[in-house]
Structure formats: C-alpha cells, structure tokens
Amino acid sequence: MEIGFIGLGNMGAPMARRLIDAGHKLVVCDVRTEAALALGALGAEVATSPQDVADRAETVMASLPSPAVAKEVALGTGGVIEGKRIRRFVDLSTTGSRVAAEIFAALAKRRIVQIDSPVSGGVAGARKGTLAVMVSGPPDDVAAVKDLLGIFGRVFVVGEKPGMAQTMKLANNFLSATAMAATAEAVAMGVKAGLDAAVMIDVINAGSGRTTASDGKFPQAVLPRSFDYGFATALMLKDVRLCAEEARALGVPDKIIRAVLDQWEITNSEYGGESDFTTIVKMVENRAGVIIGGK
C-alpha cells in the first residue's frame, strides 16, 4: 500500500521507518528537508508539501507537534484537504478532542475521513514497534488501516466518535506526567531524610508505589543524571494543558490535574521546552536542596 507520512520528528521518523521496513511504499514530507531526505535515502518519495503528499497517496498519516500545526497541515493552504487522491487522514498527533472533531468535520466535506490515532510509548516504543496505538473513527476506515497501525505497536480501538482516542491519550499522558512529578517529590523527600535514591527506587519498584517513572525513567535517565529519556518538557506540558482543558470542558473534578500542570509549567519556564521531561526532577531538587542519583 502506498502511504503518505507527514512529520518526521522524534516520533514520526521511526514510525515512518518501520513502515518502509515492512515493505510499504512511502511518500514523506517534513518542514526540515534533511529529515525527508533521510527517509528518501531508504526508498521513500519526498514530497514538497502536505498537499503534494495527499495528491500521491490515498492514506496519509501525520505525526505533528501541536494542535495548531496539525490543523494547518490538515486544513491550511497547501494542506491535505486540497489533495486530489487522499481518502483517509490518520492523525497520530496529540491534539485534544475538540481539534480532532474540527478536523474531522472539515475533511468530511471533501469526502476525506479523519481517523484519530494518537500514540503512547515514547521514542523507544516508536523504534521498537511497541507503542500503544489508540484509534477512533468510522469502523470500516479504521479496519482499513488497523494492520498498518499494528506495525507501530498494539492497537486499541476505543470508539467511533471523533476525538475519543484523543481523550484516551490525554488521560494516559496525564497519569504519566503525574507519576513523574510525584515520584520526583517522593524520592527528594527520602534523599533529604538520608535515604539512598537507588535503594528507594528498588523498594518502590518492588512495592505498591511502582510507576512508569520509577520503573523506567528514574533508572534510565534520572539516577545516572543523563536526563535524556527522549521526550521534551514542552510536549509533556502541552499534553497536560490539553488534559486540563478537556476536564474543564467536561465539567469533571480537576484539582490534581491543575496541581500537576503547575509543576510542568514551572519546569518549562525554568529549564526550557527543549529540555528532556525528566528535568522536572531538577526543578524539585532545586527546591528541596538535594541531588538525586549520580556518584
């Protein structure tokens, strides 16, 4: 199957690479020419714009950094909505349910089906094909791309309504963001009391406090002081902001969401959006007067 792929960043590039490795013919596009040419060297065709991609492929996937960029790629001048061949737009980005519904409605007027399919599992998961792939959309169209999405990881069809997969993704990433912030505070407390951080993580992972932060992020990126897990602070902040907006729109309790959002706002402000999201530990360390991990 010929597939279009737009957005070849930290997540998009390895996902596109997996499609090529699986034998699919790709048409790729990215604002960074060098990123597209790198896939071109592996056999992909390089397009000049999202519309150019949509002129060449019936199924177009996109992995983009923000709701604004996703809307521009889908609906803007030179966007996929102006493509002549496209029939399905599979959005792998995290945009929030309202943006997903807006894109769905606009594309439907051009007889293009938008399939909402955000992913979770980080860069390592994208490379290994172990992502959690959340999908919502019309059943027949979801069925048509399910095997393709399975190349990225385990596929979960969560509903038919536009944006349902986005709500699922935001719930997941809020829990991930909360685990990272809470584990940072818990370990900082223990270190200040005289406990060894590595021993704490071992105990937590053997007990009921185990989280994705203690199990993966702390051993791999915090205790060694590398802070290079592979996900930007700005992207985590974006996801928690979107979750807060979603909760507010739905009228559900959001006190914990707002508290966690505050911690990510501070981290982003003090260390910059390009910092690795494990840097939230440094923000906590600075206030606690301790260092977690290292020699």
pLDDT in tens, the chain (295 residues): 689 999 999 999 999 999 999 999 999 999 999 999 999 999 999 999 999 999 999 999 999 999 999 999 999 999 999 999 999 999 999 999 999 999 999 999 999 999 999 999 988 899 999 999 999 999 999 999 999 999 999 999 999 999 999 999 999 999 999 999 999 999 999 999 999 999 999 999 999 999 999 999 999 999 999 999 989 999 999 999 999 999 999 999 999 999 999 999 999 999 999 999 999 999 999 999 999 997 6
pLDDT of residue 149: 98
- Quote the crossing angle between the two packed helices 33-40 and 12-21, to the nearest 10°: 20
Cβ partners under 8 Å of residue 58, min gap 6: 2, 85, 86, 87, 88
- Contact between 99 and 85 under an 8 Å Cβ cutoff? The reply is no
pLDDT of residue 295: 67
- Contact between 37 and 45 under an 8 Å Cβ cutoff? The reply is no
Give the CATH architecture of domain 167-288.
Orthogonal Bundle (1.10)
In the chain, where are the structural domains located?
2-160, 167-288
- Catalytic residue numbers, as ranges: 169
- Contact between 27 and 8 under an 8 Å Cβ cutoff? The reply is no
pLDDT of residue 230: 87
DSSP state letters, the chain: -EEEEE--STTHHHHHHHHHHTT-EEEEE-SSHHHHHHHHTTTPEEPSSHHHHHHH-SEEEE--SSHHHHHHHHHSTTSGGG-SS--EEEE-S---HHHHHHHHHHHHTTT-EEEE--EESHHHHHHHT-EEEEEES-HHHHHHHHHHHHTTEEEEEEESSTTHHHHHHHHHHHHHHHHHHHHHHHHHHHHHTT--HHHHHHHHHHSTT--HIIIIIIIIIITTS---SS-BHHHHHHHHHHHHHHHHHHT---HHHHHHHHHHHHHHHHH-TTSBGGGHHHHHHHHHT---S--
Listed as own residue / partner, the contacts of 21-27 with beta carbons closer than 8 Å and 24 or more positions apart are 22/151, 24/148, 25/1, 26/2, 27/2, 27/3, 27/52, 27/53, 27/56, 27/57
pLDDT of residue 294: 79
pLDDT of residue 273: 96
Give the CATH architecture of domain 2-160.
3-Layer(aba) Sandwich (3.40)
- Contact between 201 and 223 under an 8 Å Cβ cutoff? The reply is yes
pLDDT of residue 119: 96
